[in-house]
Amino acid sequence: MQIRELITEDEIDKKVRALAQQISAEYAGKSLKLICILKGASFFACDLAKRITVPVYLDFMACSSYGDSTVSSGDIRIKKDLDAPVTGEHVLIVEDIIDSGQTLYYLKKELSVRGAADIRICTLLDKPTRRVADVRADYTGFVIPDCFVVGYGLDYAQRYRNLPYIGIVDIEER
């Protein structure tokens, strides 16, 4: 399988710093609950958290919708829940990529039911042309075309997460 570099390690690093600076400015005086969506957002969430200057509390959640396919089933399930309640907190959901939008649509609703004070979304990547559910990110790293990408946390059937850059894979399924 061929992997073509789309976003370099250096470009990711610069973007993460810029996002962290913007987030730190907009949350000045508050503390922030970063919710990292496992496993894809783990690299991004850690790098982002290191650059944010307001107090950060980290929590993790895992959802499933894809299995090993590259197309969302739309049936979202929580596989690992948060350790702590989010009641009254300023929540920033950190996601690797928004594709159909179904995962984040579901999660935003769920965290709102749990009583978060406000909920924003920070995504490293966005594929707006594939959107099915009405969700928008408050902070976006890169808008990319409709292609399947791996690296920097993102996988194809659990592989390639450890690539330091983002690359496009050629997959017949799509």
Alpha helix positions (H), 27-172: 42-51, 102-113
Helix (H) or strand (E) holding 26: helix 9-26
For residue 114 the two structure tokens come to 């749990």
| Binding-residue total with ligand IMP (CB under 6 A) | 18
By CB under 6 A, residue 42 contacts ligand IMP: no
72 binds ligand IMP (CB under 6 A): yes
10 a catalytic residue: no
Q: Give the interface segment with ligand IMP, choosing from 9-17, 19-27, 50-58, 98-106 (CB under 6 A).
A: 98-106
Positions that interact with Mg ion (CB under 5 A): 40
Which residue, 18 or 171, is less far from ligand IMP as judged by CB? 171
Return the residue nearest Mg ion (CB atom).
Answer: 40
Binding-site member from 34, 107, 124, 154 for ligand IMP (CB under 6 A) = 154
Name the minimum Å distance from CB 53 to ligand IMP: 27
The H or E element spanning position 130 is none
Separation CA 120–CA 34 (nearest Å)? 10
Question: What dihedral do alpha carbons 17, 20, 25, 28 form, nearest 10°?
Answer: -140
Number of Cβ within 10 Å of residue 67's Cβ equals: 10
Q: Which of residues 12-41 bind ligand IMP (CB under 6 A)?
A: 37, 40
Shortest separation between residue 33's beta carbon and Mg ion, angstroms: 19
Nearest to residue 29, comparing CAs of 58, 53, 57?
53
**65 sits near ligand IMP (criterion: CB under 6 A):** yes
> At 33, is the secondary structure helix, strand, or coil?
strand
d(CA 4, CA 167): 5
Closer residue to ligand IMP, CB minimum distance, 37 or 61 = 37
The single residue of 99, 138, 146, 170 carrying the catalytic annotation is 99
Which residue ranges make up the site for ligand IMP (CB under 6 A)? 37, 40, 65-66, 72, 95-103, 148-150, 154
Residue positions annotated with a catalytic role: 99
